[in-house]
Amino acid sequence: MKASFSELRCKPCEGGVDPIGPTEAAEHLKSMPSWTINESGKEISRKINTRHFVHAIEKINAIAELAESEQHHPDLHLTGYRHLTIVLTTHAIGGLSENDFILAAKIDEILK
């Protein structure tokens, strides 16, 4: 049985591999219902609304620390002072890799 994404570590990706296709991505997301895949199938994202600005910044800092430890970095968008959108893609391959799902699963643990 394959380990859950949250138990895995991100691997360096410098390109040269094919991105995960939309069908496989949708299958992976079945275990992560808070995440959605964009129309192009190249990004997954999650939106959260925090209680207030400081709480949003605390979440951003926790995600940043995790991303740094995994060496895989999301795009973080804070709007309206408390609305956070997290976007994951693997820029080196122009689409999704296993790293995106690993980081998404670990972000879910932070946001519980």
The pLDDT tens digits for 11-44 are 888 788 899 998 999 999 999 999 999 999 999 9
In a domain, 65, yes or no: yes
**In this structure, is residue 17 part of a structural domain?**
no
Tokens representing 62 are 């926790």
Give me the CATH number covering residue 97: 3.30.1360.20
> Over the Cα atoms of the chain, what is R_g?
14
Instruction: Quote the domain boundaries for residue 81.
Output: 42-112
DSSP 4: P
Q: In the beta sheet, which residues pair with residue 75?
A: 87
Q: Is residue 28 part of a domain?
A: no
Residue 23 domain-assigned (yes or no):
no
Three-point CA angle 48, 56, 42, nearest 5°: 45
**Quick check: is 27 in a domain?**
no
pTM, two decimals, is: 0.93
Collapsing DSSP states into helix, strand and coil, what is residue 25? helix
Q: Has residue 67 been placed in a domain?
A: yes
Domain count along the chain: 1
